[in-house]
Amino acid sequence: MRLPKVVKVLLLSQARSPSDVKLIMGDFNAKVGQMVDNCERGNIGKFGIGERNDRDQQLVDFCIENEFAICNTIFENHPRRLFTWTSPDGNTKNQIDYILVDKRWKTSVRTAKTLPSADCGSYHELLMSGIKLRLKMKKKVNRPVRYDLSWIPLNIPYRIEVKNRFSVLSETADEMTPDELAQESVTFFQNVLKNICLGKETTINLG
């Protein structure tokens, strides 16, 4: 089990967003077997194969410390879909290849098993996993409308338009609450600007 390389991969993955799905796959040359202690709950499933020794325990400790689940120990399958390696003479079979997934995404994993019929040209079996994700759309942020206000004091149509609209607003001001009056004022300023000078490059905040 080449654990130092796995640690390097993990450190690189931790630099990403917490919402990213972290997966580590490969030949760990370790037999984790089944869950033997409650502290392993959620990390190791009931369907691992093999007897664990002190060296194999390193992988289990790594998963517990970094909150990874070993996918192909979680799902019940026929033994031939659990073994990931067969000796050259065909007499010895082990489960030493694993797919590790961040425990946060454990429930997104639908299956994990080997495909014995796949010809990989190796003593290792092809190990696959099915994952179903529900992704949220990123909310679109509306950018503020931009206007060029530098020439407004010299713009007679704008001044006339504002004066006329204020006259109409003053007639109904007594019927509005302060909040309604403030919102109506903002709206009418924006409408005037849209009609006269929309598309310029200066931002105005009327809120």
Residue spans of the domains in the chain: they are: 3-131, 146-203
Q: Kindly state which CATH superfamily the domain 3-131 is placed in.
A: Endonuclease/exonuclease/phosphatase (3.60.10.10)
Q: Percent of the chain, pLDDT > 90?
A: 26
| Ranges of H-type helices in 44-155 | 57-66
Q: With bands split at pLDDT 50, 70 and 90, how would you rate the model's confidence at 158?
A: low
Q: What is the pLDDT of residue 128?
A: 93
Is residue 200 over pLDDT 50?
no
Average pLDDT, integer, range 159-168:
72
Contact 98, 27 (CB under 8 A): no
Query: Residue holding tokens 């409650």?
Result: 38
Spatial neighbors of 150 by CB under 8 A, at least 6 apart, are 202
| Its pTM surpasses 0.95 | no
| Ranges of H-type helices in the chain | 3-14, 57-66, 156-172, 178-197
C-alpha 37/C-alpha 20 separation (Å) is: 29
Average pLDDT, integer, range 154-161:
67
C-alpha 29/C-alpha 123 separation (Å) is: 13
C-alpha 61/C-alpha 52 separation (Å) is: 12
Is residue 85 over pLDDT 90?
yes
